[in-house]
Structure 1
Amino acid sequence: MPLFLWSLLAGAAASIPVALHLLHRRKPKPVPFSSLRFLHEAIAKTRRSRHLTNVFTLLMRVLIMVLLVFAFKQDKVRFSWIPEGKRTVVIVLDASASMRYQDGEDTCFARASEWALNLIRSLDEEDQVAVLMPGLPEPRLIFPPISDHETVNRAIQQAQPGYGAADLVELLNDMIGRLSEEDGTAALEFHVFSDFQKAGWNDAEAEGLNEQLTDQEILLFLNHVQPTVTANAGLSKAFFYPPAILGDGDFQAKAHVRSSADYSGGNTLRLIVQSNEQKKKPFRLLPDQTVTEIIGGVAEGEAQYVLGQLELDDDAFPVDNVFRFCLPRLPGIPVLLVDGSGRNNAGFRDTPFLKHAIQPKGKARTLFLPRTVDWTTFKAGPLDDSRVLFLCNPPAWDEAALEKLKTFVRDGGTVVLMPGQREELEASIEQLPPLKGLQVRKEVLPQEKPMAIVPSERPAELERKLLGIMPPPSALVIRRRLIFTSVPASASMVFQYHDGGAFILSVPFGQGTFWITSVGANRDWSEWPLTPFFVIIQQELIKSSASRNMIALSAEVGGMLALDWAEDATELDFRLRTPSGDEKTLSLSRPSRTKPVVVRGFDEPGFCHIQRNGKERVIAVNLPETESGLTYASPDELGLPLRTARLYQADSWHEHQQNLVNLHHGRPLWPFLLCCAFVLAISEEFFANIRSRTSGLPDTLRQFLRRGGRAA
């Protein structure tokens, strides 16, 4: 409670006896009695005595109330001549991955551990110690506090840093709430040994920490163990395209490399696939810079998972020089071609060019697995085995067909709508929820006309990919086309005509996408099916659609992974084998059998193996992105949100000792105040009784009795 509130409370409590005294003050009533002169003198004298007694008893009662108020405030008295009270020392030893930085002969963690051991040696035997190590899977190394200092020493000497991130402010807030209620008489102090990365110190949460420290008079010592020189280049994150290996096994890695403030010079990015170095790429870095480097690779063989890693040159922080990846290999992408020409057994008219683009020269490929059906077969059969659906020249669809398309796309599928001779697609499109309001008009040219296809103003991911392979045709012969107007805001164009109309429209819906082409898949509409551009678009569209829903099997230390697991169960037990070879059981649950399982328990970087019922998944676990930053908060930045707290900062054990020497915890004052209040309460009663006794007879009455008078 703030000091001014305690002062107001003390003043209010002290006024209670005065108010009671004034309210119960009685005016003496005159009593008829004999007019003896000595009685009048006795009354006058006793009146003065009573006034003096009342004043002193009132002061004593007021003082008792004030003592009680300050006793409940639980202040501590601090003087150099008063011996120290019992202390509760909480050592917060940062064990995050950044503390593994090699600063000279020792790591930052080794320096912090030795510093913490020096602090323990300086404590008295009765002082209690707790040790917390944020960055480990279980940060409470020793908790609750104990007074066995030898046990604490052994625990710190055997401790090793982890690979996770540390949120120091969150930990301090939590521990203050746990410890402040255990022993109100012990002085509570926190000693934090850390490099104080900015990512692990939240200023907004530190404001709340400041209030707790101030209100409870807790001491906070921030001890800096930052490296003298921070020269590091690390892999903060990497992306892989595609996130799953398709067919020929080609893929690209986009790596983000971050340099520290003291790093400058050349480095080399190496790509390791299945333990073999495939490529390396030199580059240069400036201080405090983040660059993006792209390197390509090939995943040969037929292994279910392609394991590899990106590597940088060695430096003082080796754990962020490696980024591991695990890419699943897709055996093939099932594609369903629906031909709406209605020719039944007479052959298909609207899909031959499409099938040829997917399987050039009719050769079977493991990458794309196309299957052609008519409209009736499409309506009757399931779509569970297909990832991409091409709907060419469809008839008007009924409610069942509409619901089938919506469900397929909502669950992550891709539907490509291509117009044809039926001319019923234009009227049916608006029935799809994401395409409501779209106006479609068919334009038939008087004679075929070459038109230029150009990039759109804001190219989407697929368009950028296509532009990197080949440019669009500058003179594509068009005979008829669809013109789109009132395009929904969620739609995006993939290329456009030189006059501004969309060549292809893409509209997301649920987890999937609807695509609409402005020309059909046969030569009645254009010469597009005869161009290499047609082949490239179909293949890349299928690849992007299939890989969009593929989640790379990677996670961060201390993070979690949403793992798709096909099994008719919601309660699942997995065996997790860690990179170091340890095994543990994970009991997990999910809301329904179609939902992914959220997996936690990744405590170290490397490749983890998750097994259940003979099936196995491999997970690549990497360092948290925040740990490769190595940007540290200065003492001023740490002290600003803690401006009203009792804060001490040090850069060495010697400076820390000086802070402790000049510090006097003092002892609790409330037991002494309660004793004083009790003594005053007893003394007030004795004082009132003694003052009320008659000390002797008045002089006039004594002389009267000496002369022989008699009192009746």
Structure 2
Amino acid sequence: MFSFLNPMFLWAAAAAMVPLVLHLMQRRRTVRLQFSTVRFLKMAQKRSSNRIRMENFILWLIRTALMLLLAAAFAMPMLRTSAFGGFLRRAQRDVAIIIDASYSMGYSLGRDTVWDRALDCAAAIIEGLDDGDQVCLFAAYDNVKPVVEQLNGDRFFVSSQVRTLALGKTTSRLCPAVLAAYSSLTQEPRRREREIHIITDGQALAWDGFGSSDTNRPPAPAATNDAGAASATNATGDLEMWQPGKIDKRTVFFVTTLGAPAPENVTPIDAEIQPPLLLADTSPQLRVKLSHTGPNMNTTVKVFIDEKEVGSRAAVLGESGDDLTFAIPPHPPGVHIGKIQTLPDNLAFDNDFHFLLRVREALPTLCVGEPDDAFYVLKALNAGLSADSTMRVKLIGVPELGKEDLLSYACVFLCNGLPLPTQAEALQLEQYVKNGGLLVIFPGDRAGMGDYQIMTSLPGYPSALVEIPPSLRRKMLRWEKPQHPILRTLKLGPGGAPVITVSRRLDWDSFQPGAETLIMMGEREPFMVSRDFGRGRVIMLAVPGDRSWSSFPLSPFFLPLLHQIVQFGAGIMGSQIYMPTTRSLPLSECLPTAQASSLLQDPDRKNVPVRSSIVEGKTVLRADDLLTPGIYWISKTSGGSDMEPAFDLNVERSESNLAPIKREDIPKRIGLDRVNVASDKEELMRIIKDFRVGQTLGEVFLWIAFILSIVEVFYANLKARAAPSLVDRLGVEASGKVTAGKAEGGEEAAA
């Protein structure tokens, strides 16, 4: 179907009458000669006149076509390139718009950001729709947000919804958003043109949900007997994963990549404190891992503790590595707020990396059991000695366990503490371990094999209490995992491996998944086994902490081993200096001191709703949509007068990798042929115009007119030279007889 962008120039087609008028006004020139008779002249004149008229008619056609082509070229005719949809009206369309809302869209391009251009681009697409067109709108965060889920013909409403979108603080995945958009387009089976617009910054990461570039082509249609079922599947468009073969052929993709063609970015992606256990006199080291996009570059990284700069280092990224180490000065006991900062760049959102330093004054340790059972443990941990000791040991009885706040302790020793009074104490201990605590279990005479079954966190359930004959009681201890943090720094004395006397021991037939034996007794007898449980760990020994079964408490390795266990437990609780932002955070696990009445605030000091629910008789607290990076604050009361740092969150740094996808790879990733890619709004509008309105033929018509003008000039000159004049066609013999020469057909005309 043709249309014209400048129809006023069609009036110039009237110039096609000029060649006709000129040809009609052209007069034949006659050569006058004095002859006795004109009979032969009239005969020759008739033949020549017929030929001239035929030649002039061809020239008139060429010149008329030339004038018409020039007029049409300036009128800019358009030819639709999409399906016509109807001969008397323009085809209507259903349009889905997907906007990448990841934080990388905040990349600055000078006066504005990629996000600003994305919103302008979406608004331009909506404004370009006509009456009868319908549109839906989706935002691609780390999940899909249906802004306008159902197709809507109110363009002003949808355009207003575009302006309400906020830039996200997460990564984005385009594939789930495209599947959701396609599902909305195919809710109602109707014959309308379908368009899916993807507006992104061109980051390669967002396209990971689509298939590989070589294998993601539409499969050849397979023969099937259930044609109705296949068509129903295509009609609904309810796809759980990207399958190009199930995308309707009427669907056309428009992808606009608005990001910088060669983005540059530097960001901290990880931080680690060594040693993980920080005491007041500890000067730790902070290891910072950096990531960058773009060519090798120079940068400067600064470290702040409690808003005070404590370190600054320059680095050349891409040459000497992306890891930096900072020496952190000692800090007083408490929670200290840390921040790693890189130089300002075009993506400011990921320049800061937050962390918390928890410095302990001492290592609080809890012993649960009777004084006789815990006597050697207390002595080994220096209980009751000098005030400057790093150990703070407290002894309680088993009945008092339920009243104790276990989360304030670096390690809990259960010395012949089984059986527990109720199931509640078992759940209390397991919750403590899940939250990052270390539980050490010394067996005893009071517990039977069935009493261990109450705890699901054990490395294994003992199967028997083995009596050892006197001749076999000398046992050598062997480090099964010498590189484990508990054993790595334990030095063997002059006598080599320790030897103890054992009269009784626990025996295990099997262990739980994930359990490992740290120390063996003899050749194949486990002495100390360990198992990770939640964020913490459970350690279980085969002998008690007193002398009732063995001489282990008198061994020179007993005291350093217990010290290493306590320090290891304190390191577990203090090793996590940050967490990633999340949609849902169980406060009961990461912040066990939180209560239902606690007030939680985000880094902007806005209150965060906390949900509470009862699970297995216990109150579980949960906070949702913790997406703002920084330090979160909590108070034990609803008034908020005792706010203190609770935890810190950092965004997932994979989104900071701004490596762009190649333009030619986008159609390969999508796996379809009808994919149009633009790099800015203007190019997108041209592509849409060519698709919806058509392609102009003005330039084509000008080239045809140019060729015709050349043909006209050559043809006119050729005929002007080749055609003889009337005088040349007539001849006069010596006798005075006039002859007409040769006729056109090769015949001789005699006078």
Q: Would the aligned equivalents of 1:577 and 1:610 in 2 still touch at CA under 8 Å?
A: yes
Deviation at 1:664, TM superposition (A): 4.7
Deviation at 1:188, TM superposition (A): 3.4
Amino acid at match of 2:560: F
Deviation at 1:294, TM superposition (A): 5.6
Taking the aligned partners of 2:347 and 2:318, their CA distance within structure 1 comes to 17
Is the alpha carbon distance of 1:484 and 1:577 closer, same or farther for their aligned partners in structure 2, counting shifts above 3 Å? Answer: closer
Is the alpha carbon distance of 1:131 and 1:400 closer, same or farther for their aligned partners in structure 2, counting shifts above 3 Å? Answer: closer
- SS of residue in 2 equivalent to 1:639: helix
**Aligned position for 2:248:** 214
Deviation at 1:214, TM superposition (A): 1.1
Q: Would the aligned equivalents of 1:483 and 1:502 in 2 still touch at CA under 8 Å?
A: no
Match status 1:560 vs 2:584:
yes
Match status 1:410 vs 2:417:
no
- SS of residue in 2 equivalent to 1:533: helix
Q: Would the aligned equivalents of 2:461 and 2:508 in 1 still touch at CA under 8 Å?
A: no
Q: Would the aligned equivalents of 1:210 and 1:645 in 2 still touch at CA under 8 Å?
A: no
Counterpart of 1:384 (choices 404, 407, 430) is: 404
Counterpart of 1:203 (choices 200, 204, 210) is: 210
Q: TM-score if structure 2 supplies the norm length?
A: 0.60
Q: Would the aligned equivalents of 2:505 and 2:542 in 1 still touch at CA under 8 Å?
A: no
Counterpart of 1:435 (choices 449, 461, 468) is: 461
Deviation at 1:354, TM superposition (A): 1.9
Taking the aligned partners of 1:138 and 1:169, their CA distance within structure 2 comes to 10
Deviation at 1:154, TM superposition (A): 7.2
Is the alpha carbon distance of 1:436 and 1:501 closer, same or farther for their aligned partners in structure 2, counting shifts above 3 Å? Answer: closer
**Aligned position for 2:387:** 363
Deviation at 1:210, TM superposition (A): 3.5
Counterpart of 1:586 (choices 609, 632, 647) is: 609
Taking the aligned partners of 2:316 and 2:271, their CA distance within structure 1 comes to 18
**Aligned position for 1:51:** none
Q: Would the aligned equivalents of 2:92 and 2:132 in 1 still touch at CA under 8 Å?
A: yes
Counterpart of 2:653 (choices 625, 638, 662) is: 625
- SS of residue in 2 equivalent to 1:540: helix
Taking the aligned partners of 2:172 and 2:594, their CA distance within structure 1 comes to 38
Counterpart of 2:518 (choices 494, 498, 519) is: 494
Amino acid at match of 1:605: P
- SS of residue in 2 equivalent to 1:539: helix
Counterpart of 2:115 (choices 102, 109, 115) is: 109
Aligned pairs for 1:146-161 (under 5 A) are 161=167
Taking the aligned partners of 1:608 and 1:333, their CA distance within structure 2 comes to 25
Match status 1:325 vs 2:355:
yes
Taking the aligned partners of 2:324 and 2:678, their CA distance within structure 1 comes to 40
Deviation at 1:275, TM superposition (A): 0.8
Taking the aligned partners of 1:221 and 1:206, their CA distance within structure 2 comes to 22
Taking the aligned partners of 2:540 and 2:340, their CA distance within structure 1 comes to 36
Match status 1:306 vs 2:336:
yes
- SS of residue in 2 equivalent to 1:258: strand
Backbone CA RMSD of aligned residues? 5.0
**Aligned position for 1:643:** 671
Q: Would the aligned equivalents of 1:238 and 1:256 in 2 still touch at CA under 8 Å?
A: yes
- SS of residue in 2 equivalent to 1:649: strand
Is the alpha carbon distance of 1:161 and 1:610 closer, same or farther for their aligned partners in structure 2, counting shifts above 3 Å? Answer: same
Taking the aligned partners of 2:490 and 2:302, their CA distance within structure 1 comes to 28
Deviation at 1:309, TM superposition (A): 1.7
**Aligned position for 2:226:** none
**Aligned position for 1:277:** 309
Deviation at 1:100, TM superposition (A): 1.8
Deviation at 1:212, TM superposition (A): 5.8
Taking the aligned partners of 2:440 and 2:427, their CA distance within structure 1 comes to 15
5+ long unaligned stretches in structure 2: 1-81, 212-238, 454-459, 695-751
State which drifts further: 318-327 or 146-155: 146-155
Is the alpha carbon distance of 1:657 and 1:390 closer, same or farther for their aligned partners in structure 2, counting shifts above 3 Å? Answer: closer
Q: TM-score if structure 1 supplies the norm length?
A: 0.63
Is the alpha carbon distance of 1:311 and 1:493 closer, same or farther for their aligned partners in structure 2, counting shifts above 3 Å? Answer: farther
Match status 1:598 vs 2:607:
no
Is the alpha carbon distance of 1:613 and 1:473 closer, same or farther for their aligned partners in structure 2, counting shifts above 3 Å? Answer: farther
Counterpart of 1:259 (choices 285, 292, 315) is: 292
Amino acid at match of 1:513: V
After superposition, give the CA deviation of every residue in 1:40-97 in whole Å (9 maximum; x if it has no partner). Answer: xxxxxxxxxxxxxxxxxxxxxxxxxxxxxxxxxxxx9528976533344433232211
**Aligned position for 1:68:** none
**Aligned position for 1:93:** 99
Match status 1:456 vs 2:484:
no
- SS of residue in 1 equivalent to 2:529: strand
Taking the aligned partners of 2:656 and 2:540, their CA distance within structure 1 comes to 41
**Aligned position for 1:228:** 261
Deviation at 1:222, TM superposition (A): 1.3
Taking the aligned partners of 1:379 and 1:620, their CA distance within structure 2 comes to 36
Deviation at 1:383, TM superposition (A): 6.4
- Amino-acid identity (%): 15
Match status 1:614 vs 2:639:
yes
After superposition, give the CA deviation of every residue in 1:388-447 in whole Å (9 maximum; x if it has no partner). Answer: 44355x49x6x556978855543335443458xxx859x967963423347867697999
**Aligned position for 2:742:** none
Q: Would the aligned equivalents of 2:339 and 2:354 in 1 still touch at CA under 8 Å?
A: yes
After superposition, give the CA deviation of every residue in 1:195-240 in whole Å (9 maximum; x if it has no partner). Answer: 244443312678546356416x332211222422233232234456
Taking the aligned partners of 2:619 and 2:276, their CA distance within structure 1 comes to 20
- SS of residue in 2 equivalent to 1:590: strand
Amino acid at match of 2:331: E
Taking the aligned partners of 2:634 and 2:405, their CA distance within structure 1 comes to 26
Taking the aligned partners of 2:599 and 2:425, their CA distance within structure 1 comes to 39
Match status 1:338 vs 2:369:
yes
Taking the aligned partners of 1:239 and 1:587, their CA distance within structure 2 comes to 29
Taking the aligned partners of 1:477 and 1:218, their CA distance within structure 2 comes to 76
Is the alpha carbon distance of 1:541 and 1:660 closer, same or farther for their aligned partners in structure 2, counting shifts above 3 Å? Answer: closer
- SS of residue in 2 equivalent to 1:601: strand
State which drifts further: 615-624 or 498-507: 498-507
Q: Would the aligned equivalents of 1:340 and 1:350 in 2 still touch at CA under 8 Å?
A: no
Q: Would the aligned equivalents of 2:578 and 2:650 in 1 still touch at CA under 8 Å?
A: no
**Aligned position for 2:748:** none
- SS of residue in 2 equivalent to 1:363: coil
Counterpart of 2:564 (choices 528, 537, 546) is: 537
**Aligned position for 1:52:** none
Taking the aligned partners of 1:629 and 1:438, their CA distance within structure 2 comes to 56
Amino acid at match of 2:654: T
Q: Would the aligned equivalents of 1:340 and 1:391 in 2 still touch at CA under 8 Å?
A: no
Q: Would the aligned equivalents of 1:272 and 1:308 in 2 still touch at CA under 8 Å?
A: yes
Taking the aligned partners of 1:580 and 1:234, their CA distance within structure 2 comes to 22
Deviation at 1:121, TM superposition (A): 5.6
Taking the aligned partners of 1:625 and 1:562, their CA distance within structure 2 comes to 22
Taking the aligned partners of 1:628 and 1:85, their CA distance within structure 2 comes to 42
Taking the aligned partners of 2:556 and 2:441, their CA distance within structure 1 comes to 15
Taking the aligned partners of 2:599 and 2:395, their CA distance within structure 1 comes to 42
Amino acid at match of 2:210: D
Q: Would the aligned equivalents of 2:481 and 2:518 in 1 still touch at CA under 8 Å?
A: yes
Match status 1:480 vs 2:504:
no
Deviation at 1:98, TM superposition (A): 0.9
Amino acid at match of 2:639: G
Taking the aligned partners of 2:472 and 2:243, their CA distance within structure 1 comes to 77
Deviation at 1:190, TM superposition (A): 2.1
Deviation at 1:146, TM superposition (A): 6.2
Q: How many residues align?
A: 557
